[in-house]
Amino acid sequence: MGQNESFAQIYKITENLWAIDEIGKTILYVFKGNRRVLLLDTGFGLLDLKKLVANLCPGLETIVVNTHAHGDHNSGNGQFEKVYCGRMDEPFSHQKMDEETCKRFADSFFLNNPRAAQVNADDWHPVPAKRVVPLSDGDTIDLGGITLEVLETPGHSIGSICLLDRANGLLFTGDMVLSWEVWGQLEYSSALQYYAQSLQRMAALNVLRVFPAHGTADNTLGFPLYELPPRVLDIYARETEKIVTGKAVGEPYSCFAGDGLCCQFEIGGMVYNPERIGNDLP
């Protein structure tokens, strides 16, 4: 694995920012500063990520960050000596994916996917990076002329982080908001009230562009697959708060990652566990 560049479609967003669509399933980002380059997420590890980054940004040190510790975002970590991730997801980032989980991911993401036709699922055994370094809220990543702030945003996973380029109004959100329903019902998702707080924090930011970790080119928003309109943050914050306060109740929802209830929004939606909405204080 890690050699077939046909698995990637590369989109140049600005002079120093690229979106890498891996097999139509996960979007990685390459962000170039004057002295360093950020690789945000490592996807399924099907690409030669060092070569890809070096071709786009030759001669610069690469900083690798995971938005969260899920297999469609960190399975290429083993290509690197050191990877950064949110401190609450750090314990999971050291774990090697077991055979059952490998098969579940392969069936869900590779099977019947024309973009992944050359993937031999039997050979897909992702491994962690040799060193995983936790990031905390308020940490900064200096790329040289570009500073990214770490925002801890518990929700989709308890250790999810977003990266904010405050100077240029860019927000990289991982799986926190999407153009379809997000999964907040997972075993290691936060209780919904904390997801709602994270969304409220994101909605209060003054951002111009929002870059999620998943998307499709045929979305109804008229945006490219790697971008969402900033108002998606307000929509998610407002509508998720309705679920937390009991003003909205979802419909039954099933998927390979776990069942729950789902409320659809104007853009996207929220899948949640009704038993894990939050504290019911007296």
* Residue-by-residue pLDDT tens, the chain, 282 positions: 334 467 999 999 999 999 999 999 999 999 999 999 999 999 999 999 999 999 999 999 999 999 999 999 999 999 999 999 999 999 999 999 999 999 999 999 999 999 999 999 899 999 999 999 999 999 999 999 999 999 999 999 999 999 999 999 999 999 999 999 999 999 999 999 999 999 999 999 999 999 999 998 887 788 999 999 999 999 999 999 999 999 999 999 999 889 999 999 999 999 999 999 987 655
pLDDT of residue 3: 41
Residue 281: predicted pLDDT: 56
Please classify residue 282 by burial: count the beta carbons closer than 10 Å to its beta carbon, then call 0-12 exposed, 13-18 middle and 19+ buried: exposed
Check residue 2 and give its pLDDT: 39
Under 8 Å between Cβ of 175 and 188: no
> What sections of the chain are H helices per DSSP?
49-56, 71-74, 90-93, 99-109, 192-203, 231-244
The candidate with the shortest Cα–Cα distance to 101, out of 73, 129, 70, 130, is 70
pLDDT, position 236: 98
In the block, which residue shows the tokens 């996207």? 268
What is the structure's pLDDT at 5?
A: 61
